[in-house]
Structure 1
């Protein structure tokens, strides 16, 4: 099973960082038809073939995802889109 593991630094106050993570999740949801929800400071997301999370930490985000067989072929474009959105929002 392919995986994505991204650490992205940020310097936003906690409330702003949380809002930005929410915006990232919304974009990913629209683009890849993912469901998402908060569990403390961790935003979990999923869809058929993908399970992942964005852990909000004081100075960084940690994005992890497990991709199923069919989506593993799209690992590069998915990871690139996540990195692009993170750079845009943070």
Structure 2
């Protein structure tokens, strides 16, 4: 299965970083029906065709996901959109 693994540095406080991730998760749930849950500082998410997580650390975060067969063809655009959102929210 194709995978996505993105590391992104940030300067936000832990509370602000968590709030930003929560806002993104809420939008994904609303738009794409993604289910998610927090496990301490890790947001686990899933839906048909994708399973992943966002690990929050004090100075960086890591987005990792496994894509199913149908979404594997869209790996490039999905990665590009993730990077765009990270740049926008985690400066």
TM over 0.5: yes
Q: Could you state the TM-score of these two structures normalised by the residue count of structure 1? A: 0.93
Gap regions ≥5 residues in structure 1: none
Aligned equivalents of 2:31, 2:79: Cα separation in 1: 13
Gap regions ≥5 residues in structure 2: none
Aligned equivalents of 2:58, 2:17: Cα separation in 1: 9
**Pairwise CA RMSD:** 1.1
Question: In the TM superposition, what are the counterparts of 1:70-89 in structure 2 within 5 Å?
Answer: 70-89=70-89
State the Cα distance separating 1:30 from its structure 2 match: 3.3
Q: Could you state the TM-score of these two structures normalised by the residue count of structure 2? A: 0.92
Summarize deviations over 1:56-82 as a string: whole Å, max 9, x none.
001000000000111101111111111
Dislocated runs of 4+, deviation >6 Å: none
State the Cα distance separating 1:38 from its structure 2 match: 0.4
